[in-house]
Amino acid sequence: MTNTTRRDELTRSGQESTSSPPVPGQRWRVVAARRTDTERLLSRLRTGVALTAGRLATTTSKRLRLGSGGIIGGRVAMALRPDLLDRLVADRRIVVVTGTNGKTTTTHMVAQALRAGGDSVSNATGANMLDGHVAALMSEPDAPYAALEVDELHLAQLTDRFQPSVILLLNLSRDQLDRVGEIRSVEASLRRALRQAPAAKVVANADDPNIVSAAIDHPHVTWVSGGCRWKHDALNCPRCGAFLGELEGDWECACGLRRPVADWTVDSNGLIAPDGGVERLSLPLPGQVNRVNATFALAASTELDLPRSESLERIQRLRDASGRYGHTTMAGREVRLLLAKNPASWLEMLDLVAENERPLIFVVNSRQADGHDVSWLWDIEFERLAGRTVLVTGERALDLAVRLRYAEVNCETASSVQQALHSAIIEHSAGPVEIIANYTAFRDLFAKRQQH
């Protein structure tokens, strides 16, 4: 066989000859082998089997009340088809939402906003890692839009697999230090994730120095400003460590990191869009934090060229997000369920309960999903509750009671939320009860509410 004939055969098979010198003027390229009809059929069958098995696992989990199925379904499907996520994201416009606080609520808002353009799917249960993303996407494989909540430390893993259309960066603060680690490591992980997604559009918090540091080098960033309530984790520059001082207004560090000019601005009256348009925000969900979340969601839909007025109208229909801020009845009393899992989110929830004199119940656990370390209780400004009586329960009720006593807040412990609701303090009061619970405590209360 001549060298020319051998080279021709190698070219047709997608390989390149290394033993013979190239013919002058000849150009070589690797040609991917074409899959046969049989291979394509087998691939489709494997995908179908994986989807069927995953959906069956989800349905079984729900029927047996073992959980929402938001994780197990995706896990089973990925075990059978490891590249299933890559297939499920094809031809979709996907918005991913990450940050320490507000991910679930904002993801619900984004999913609502995206429906201005067509069907939208989301991981509404909060299962925010790859198996949860697969479970959500396979539930509606034909939906052209998706809103995916993503754990901060898993965003880099996700952008290594595919490029989202839009990435929302909400905030960074201390949370589960025994699992997540220090904020600087999370900021570095977010920065790496964005480097892997240069074509994505990023919507980021202009008031949070940690988020600014993570996003400032990306080529396509839209900045949102809604104020910085929790400042204790952002007082030092994430790039050089220098003290930043006051974070209100246009903060700046000597190393060059500075607060960018906001494209979207939101306050207690409404929001100002990049084109100067003013929109009123009339949200069923309370607080400045949700006005900011809504602005992020509206900014995401705008980046996808969806009609702003319709997107906003859809966002403003949302009344609760996986039970957050929801009203229900427990032990014969009307209660409002509030989630607070770290000092920053407790600050926001204390703002809400400070607006009324309703009875208060606090529930704190320290399971794996919460983080076993509860030293963060000492960073919360419970002193604001001086003069009110709080009932505390949960696995770390005594830790919380000690903190409240040092804050000179009257408190009593109860063995359960039900016992707390039957206490003399609450039974002799009128009106709804406010319950603030951290992650697993809230999850358990929400599950009990669903069962009723």
Q: Among 77, 98, 131, identify where a domain stops.
A: 77
Q: Are residues 135 and 213 in the same domain?
A: yes
pLDDT value, residue 308? 96
pLDDT value, residue 182? 81
Q: Where are the alpha helices (DSSP H) in 166-287?
A: 183-195, 209-215
Q: Are residues 251 and 139 in the same domain?
A: yes
Q: Is there a domain that residue 336 lies in?
A: yes
pLDDT for residue 19 is more than 70: no
Q: Are residues 68 and 214 in the same domain?
A: no
pLDDT for residue 355 is more than 90: no
Q: Among 286, 315, 344, identify where a domain stops.
A: 315
Strands 264-266 and 166-169: unpaired
Q: Are residues 293 and 375 in the same domain?
A: no
pLDDT digits (tens, 9 = 90+) for 231-248: 888 889 999 999 987 777
Work out the percent of the chain whose per-residue pLDDT is above 90: 64
pLDDT for residue 11 is more than 80: no
The pLDDT of 47-67, averaged and rounded, is 84
Burial of 78 (0-12, 13-18, 19+ CB in 10 A): buried
pLDDT for residue 21 is more than 80: no
How many Å apart are CA 450 and CA 2, to the nearest integer? 76
Q: Is there a domain that residue 298 lies in?
A: yes
Model confidence band, residue 4 (pLDDT cutoffs 50, 70, 90): very low
Q: Among 77, 106, 125, identify where a domain stops.
A: 77
pLDDT value, residue 180? 59
For the chain, how big is the Rg over CA atoms in Å? 26
8 A C-beta contact, residue 303 and residue 336: no
Q: Are residues 199 and 234 in the same domain?
A: yes
Q: Is there a domain that residue 372 lies in?
A: yes
Q: Are residues 97 and 47 in the same domain?
A: no
8 A C-beta contact, residue 84 and residue 110: no
pLDDT for residue 26 is more than 70: no
Query: What stretches of 216-263 adopt beta strand conformation (E)?
Result: 221-225
The pLDDT of 12-31, averaged and rounded, is 53
CATH code: domain of residue 204 = 3.40.1190.10
pLDDT value, residue 33? 62
Strands 264-266 and 221-225: parallel
Question: Backbone phi, then psi, for 222, in 5-degree steps?
Answer: -110, 130
Average predicted confidence (pLDDT) for the chain: 88
Q: Are residues 183 and 277 in the same domain?
A: yes
Torsion of CA 6, 11, 17, 22, to 10 degrees: 90
pTM of the entire predicted model: 0.86
pLDDT for residue 10 is more than 50: no
pLDDT value, residue 316? 96
411 in a labelled binding site = no
Q: Is there a domain that residue 25 lies in?
A: no
Model confidence band, residue 15 (pLDDT cutoffs 50, 70, 90): very low
255 in a labelled binding site = yes
Q: Is there a domain that residue 360 lies in?
A: yes
Q: Are residues 51 and 120 in the same domain?
A: no
CATH code: domain of residue 374 = 3.90.190.20
pLDDT digits (tens, 9 = 90+) for 261-316: 999 999 988 999 999 999 999 999 999 999 999 999 999 999 999 999 999 999 99
The pLDDT of 38-45, averaged and rounded, is 80
240 in a labelled binding site = yes
pLDDT for residue 402 is more than 80: yes
How many Å apart are CA 165 and CA 154, to the nearest integer? 17
pLDDT value, residue 31? 60
How many Å apart are CA 252 and CA 244, to the nearest integer? 7
pLDDT for residue 137 is more than 50: yes
Q: Is there a domain that residue 275 lies in?
A: yes
pLDDT digits (tens, 9 = 90+) for 165-224: 999 999 999 886 656 568 899 999 999 999 999 999 999 999 999 999 999 999 999 999
Q: Are residues 250 and 379 in the same domain?
A: no
Model confidence band, residue 29 (pLDDT cutoffs 50, 70, 90): low
Q: How is the beta sheet containing 270-272 ordered, strand by strand?
A: 120-122, 145-149, 93-98, 166-169, 201-205, 221-225, 264-266, 270-272, 278-280
Work out the percent of the chain whose per-residue pLDDT is above 70: 90
8 A C-beta contact, residue 400 and residue 394: yes
Model confidence band, residue 379 (pLDDT cutoffs 50, 70, 90): very high
8 A C-beta contact, residue 388 and residue 355: no
Q: Is there a domain that residue 198 lies in?
A: yes
Q: Active site residue: 119, 178, 217, 373, which one?
A: 373
Q: Are residues 45 and 187 in the same domain?
A: no
For the chain, the domain total comes to: 3
pLDDT value, residue 312? 97
Annotated catalytic residue 373:
yes
Q: Are residues 410 and 426 in the same domain?
A: yes
Q: Are residues 72 and 171 in the same domain?
A: no
Q: Is there a domain that residue 31 lies in?
A: no
- Domain range for 356 is 327-451
228 in a labelled binding site = no
